[in-house]
Amino acid sequence: MKRLIYAATISLIALSAGARAAPAPDIAARVERVLKATPIIDGHNDLPWELRDRFDSKLERIDLRGDTKALPRPADASPFWQPLMTDIPRLRAGRVGGQFWSVWIPTTITGPAAIQTTIEQIDLVKRMAAKWPADFEMAYTAADVVRIEKAGRIASLIGIEGGHQIGNSLPALRQMYVSGARYMTLSHSSNNDWADSATDAPAHHGLTPFGLAVVREMNRLGMLVDLSHVSPETMKAALAVTQAPVIFSHSGARALIDHPRDVPDDVLTLVARNRGVVMVNFFPLYVSEATSRWASDRAAEQARLSSPPFAGVYIGQPDRAKAAMAAWDTAHPMPATTIAMVADHIDHIAKVAGVDCVGIGSDFDGIPFTPQGLDGVDKYPALFAELARRGWSDTDLAKLAGGNILRAMREAEAIAAKLQATTPPSSATIAELDHPVK
């Protein structure tokens, strides 16, 4: 459902996944050698919400050991329905050794309901690991990830994708850490009560005093601060207060495409000083300027044809609006987004922030379509082959694959150990910090 929210915004049409020419044998062998020694750790995959939305969280209704590309299309499916991008055979083929599973919930769910729904999603991830123990094992530390990878399983980690999910409660944040969450995105697609989103009008101009307290408490816990989805002001506010490396679990380079979901160069320089990691997103609207403009133009045309309640050339005439939109689609095909374009974002981040500060954060199963040749979790080696052709060394490919995020996790864990020795859990509340009684 999360990826259908993107689709509802721009009414996307399907993009066929064209294959890039196979890498030369020596390149393929290099990539295989690198990823065998340092498997990929992906910063963001939204499969848990897809399992909730499609299968009512009932794992007996889906077998991830099978090919989820072959799932039958329901009779009442949305026009934008797609098969899943993730399953165990494809994770294995993609050389994935660790996966941060997003426990995203919609921003419309707030307060106690948000806490409950988040706990349900955390439980779903743990049930995935329990149902397929030959392939998945829960991980809570960098050492866990390495141990699990060496045992031939996929380390399953948990990331919370929006600050609204803690219900403005530091005790709830702490209990989510105890339950296994190892990063939290400070906001999602809209502002919350203490952090501004990249895709909403500024309300706080960064972080409120309570938002700063959240970052400090995350440092004390050892929970990574995730700055994907937040505004540049929020990025800078968090980077100014954090003692531990931050991550961007699924973002790109704004210098290549002026989209607010991507990271500006001045922030990338701060990330370098912080020793953080920007994990590159595959969503074409954040990768390709042409695709992003196409989506904006398409959304504008759809609004022109049928925007309620008063405007719209064919308002109240859905058949005519649908036909006109189909004609527009034929005349304006979606531009192609390629593996090379994703590699451009990786190259740019490595150039500005350093090769120690870049990783992979696909957003698979949270996006409605993908770049050509990157249509599922089996395709990561093709991206690494592209970078190898560009001159990336084996050492730097290994850092990108998983070395950088493991280093950031270790540093966050070490800082947390020091803070816990001297700093008690925060008792701060949003009322006393952001709305003090005068």
Closest to 64 in 3D by CA, of 118, 1, 136, 16: 136
Half-sphere CA count of 432, side-chain side, radius 13 A: 7
Q: What is the mean pLDDT of residues 5-29?
A: 58
pLDDT digits (tens, 9 = 90+) for 75-127: 777 666 789 999 999 999 999 999 999 999 999 999 999 999 999 999 999 99
Q: In this structure, are residues 100 and 136 in contact, taking their beta carbons and an 8 Å threshold?
A: no
46 as an active site residue: the answer is yes
Instruction: Please give the pLDDT value at position 13.
Output: 38
Identity of the amino acid at 204:
H
CB 39 within 8 A of CB 149: yes
Quick check: 328 pLDDT over 50? yes
* Residue range 183-242, pLDDT digits in tens: 999 999 999 999 999 999 999 999 999 999 999 999 999 999 999 999 999 999 999 999
Residue 275, C-beta contacts closer than 8 angstroms, at least 6 positions apart: 245, 356, 357, 407, 408, 411
Q: Determine whether 188 is an active site residue.
A: yes
pLDDT at residue 406, as a whole number: 98
Task: Report the first-to-last Cα separation within the chain, whole angstroms.
Answer: 44
Residue 229 makes CB contacts below 8 A (sequence gap 6+) with 161, 162, 185, 186, 187, 188, 189, 197, 198, 199, 261
How far, in Å, CA of 336 to CA of 24, rounded? 23
pTM over 0.85: yes
411 catalytic per annotation: no
In the chain, count H helices and then E strands.
18, 9
230 has which bridge partners?
A: 197
In the set 164, 250, 345, 348, the catalytic residue is: 250
Strands 40-45 and 96-102: parallel
Catalytic residue among 87, 161, 226, 347: 161
Task: DSSP for 384-407, please give it.
Answer: HHHHHHTT--HHHHHIIIIIHHHH
d(CA 166, CA 186): 10
* Catalytic residue selected from 42, 46, 144, 386: 46
**pLDDT at 310 > cutoff 80:** no
- Contact by Cβ (8 Å): 68, 87: yes
Residue 224: closest CA among 288, 273, 150, 173:
173
The one catalytic residue in 50, 144, 193, 363 is 363
205 is known as an active-site residue: no
Q: What is the pLDDT of residue 80?
A: 65
- Our answer to whether residue 363 is catalytic in this structure is yes
List 42, 144, 164, 229, catalytic entry: 229
Closest CA to 341 of 381, 396, 291, 293: 291
Q: Are 107 and 162 in contact (CB under 8 A)?
A: yes
| CA 99 to mean position of chain CA atoms | 11
Choose the catalytic residue: 137, 149, 188, 344.
Answer: 188
Q: Is 44 a catalytic residue?
A: yes
Q: Which domains does the chain have, with CATH numbers?
A: 2-9+30-288+337-432 (3.20.20.140)
Give 308-340 as a DSSP string: SSS--TTTT-HHHHHHHHHHHHHHSPPPP--HH
